[in-house]
């Protein structure tokens, strides 16, 4: 995440503080100072740091459980609304998603229990919510119980929403589970925004976050499911304009003017791609090369996708690389088409609205 600083590493995961989190601490300190002077400012900031240490521990519950399934987490960022663990991928199989989602709240339960034991708190202590009179063990225990309850609200992408989606997916399959989880999450998002206007503006932010990121993640998951069982050859564009390595920059300019592809494969004499020229790199190329410069001098190395690759995994890779299009080749390594974001989006649309239609693969 941009605008954040790394303060250390735990087990290969960088812990980062976002600038808004630092401003939040500053604000806590200043309001403490205003109400009761320096000592109060120090206590407020220290307490807030302890709270966020619990938030980090919660995130590490998720991170360590995900690691058991081979999922690495390069970094976790602290924001005023909580921690965001940047996992390499989000576990989608319900039997992985469920334990990963539960591991975070489980950490808060363990911390609250330990604090209650060390602070010798009795259940009666928790019947009063008068925090002003409570000691630090008591206050932190209450914070952890609130984190536990709040995170288990079944609003995707909060932990409870992930638990709900995983349980639904185990029973109904992901295709039916995703929209149900999405609608429940959106209902909670509206509720949070409404409650936020009355009680606490932070809830408005959380409501918006749930609506936007929950909807986006579940829709992306649903789109990938629509591609299930397809191969790259089923979805690629097969009317592709290409260049020969011996052609020149003026041929490239000509092709760009008369077609609308994002990039153009460069082929050798046997039709095998040996390079690619992107439309977006044209300004740079025009600045540094002249009309007779051969294509081989201005192309970049291509990434090549065999036509038989499962479409879902090809799309995931393109997502990761932020690629707009990929060159598709047959078993002999010859160009047969291009897979583009455009053709993928159309395939998702057709498969979502007309799932019963057979897909006619282009022969590769």
Residues at the contact surface with Zn ion, assessed by CB under 5 A: 104, 151, 159
**What's the CA angle centered on 287, arms 283 and 291, to 5 degrees?**
100
Q: List phi, psi (to 5°) of 75.
A: -155, 160
Comparing CB distances to Zn ion, the nearer of 159 and 326 is: 159
Tokens of 75: 């970094």
Comparing CB distances to Zn ion, the nearer of 83 and 337 is: 83
CB of 58 to Zn ion, least distance (A): 6
Comparing CB distances to Zn ion, the nearer of 61 and 337 is: 61
Closest residue by Cα to residue 116 from 139, 146, 147: 139
CB of 160 to Zn ion, least distance (A): 9
The answer to whether 339 and 305 are in contact (CB under 8 A) is yes
Please give the span between the terminal C-alpha atoms of the chain, in angstroms, as a whole number: 41
Tokens of 1: 């995440």
Tokens of 211: 């609506």
CB of 248 to Zn ion, least distance (A): 57
CB of 159 to Zn ion, least distance (A): 4
Tokens of 293: 């410069």
Burial class from Cβ neighbours inside 10 Å (0-12, 13-18, 19+) for residue 125 reads middle
Comparing CB distances to Zn ion, the nearer of 162 and 231 is: 162
Comparing CB distances to Zn ion, the nearer of 84 and 350 is: 84
Which residue's C-beta sits nearest to Zn ion? 104
SS3 106: helix
Comparing CB distances to Zn ion, the nearer of 140 and 243 is: 140
CB of 168 to Zn ion, least distance (A): 19
CB of 59 to Zn ion, least distance (A): 7
Closest residue by Cα to residue 303 from 250, 345, 265, 255: 265
CA distances from 61 to 13, 108, 176 (A): 13, 9, 28
Comparing CB distances to Zn ion, the nearer of 102 and 249 is: 102
The answer to whether 79 and 126 are in contact (CB under 8 A) is no
SS3 11: coil
H/E stretch holding 249 reads helix 249-258
Comparing CB distances to Zn ion, the nearer of 217 and 326 is: 217
CB of 215 to Zn ion, least distance (A): 19
CB of 152 to Zn ion, least distance (A): 9
């Amino acid at each position: 995440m941009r605008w954040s600083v790394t303060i250390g590493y735990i087990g290969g995961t960088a812990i980062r503080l976002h600038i808004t989190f630092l401003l939040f601490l500053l604000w806590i300190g200043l309001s403490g100072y205003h109400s009761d002077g320096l000592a109060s400012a120090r206590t407020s900031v220290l307490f807030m740091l302890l709270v966020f240490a619990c938030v980090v521990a919660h995130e590490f519950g998720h991170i360590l459980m995900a690691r058991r399934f081979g999922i690495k987490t390069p970094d976790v960022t602290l924001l005023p609304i909580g921690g965001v663990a940047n996992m390499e991928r989000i576990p989608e199989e319900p039997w992985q998603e469920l334990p990963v989602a539960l591991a975070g709240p489980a950490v808060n339960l363990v911390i609250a229990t330990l604090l209650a034991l060390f602070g010798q708190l009795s259940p009666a202590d928790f019947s009063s919510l008068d925090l002003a009179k409570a000691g630090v063990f008591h206050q932190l225990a209450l914070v952890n119980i609130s984190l536990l309850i709040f995170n288990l609200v079944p609003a995707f992408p909060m932990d409870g929403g992930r638990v709900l989606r995983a349980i639904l997916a185990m029973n109904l399959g992901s295709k039916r589970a995703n929209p149900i989880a999405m609608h429940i999450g959106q209902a909670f998002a509206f509720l949070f925004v409404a409650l936020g206007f009355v009680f606490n503006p932070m809830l408005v932010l959380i409501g918006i976050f749930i609506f936007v990121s929950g909807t986006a993640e579940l829709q992306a998951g649903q789109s990938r499911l629509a591609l299930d069982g397809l191969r790259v050859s089923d979805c690629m564009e097969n009317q592709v304009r290409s260049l020969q390595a011996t052609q020149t920059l003026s041929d490239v300019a000509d092709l760009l003017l008369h077609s609308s592809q994002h990039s153009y494969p460069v082929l050798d004499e046997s039709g095998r791609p040996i390079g690619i020229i992107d439309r977006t790199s044209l300004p740079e190329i025009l600045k540094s090369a002249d009309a007779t410069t051969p294509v081989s001098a201005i192309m970049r190395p291509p990434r090549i996708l065999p036509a038989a690759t499962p479409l879902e995994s090809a799309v995931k890779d393109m997502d990761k690389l932020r690629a707009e299009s990929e060159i598709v080749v047959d078993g002999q390594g010859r160009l047969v088409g291009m897979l583009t974001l455009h053709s993928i989006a159309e395939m998702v649309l057709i498969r979502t609205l007309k799932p019963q239609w057979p897909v006619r693969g282009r022969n590769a």
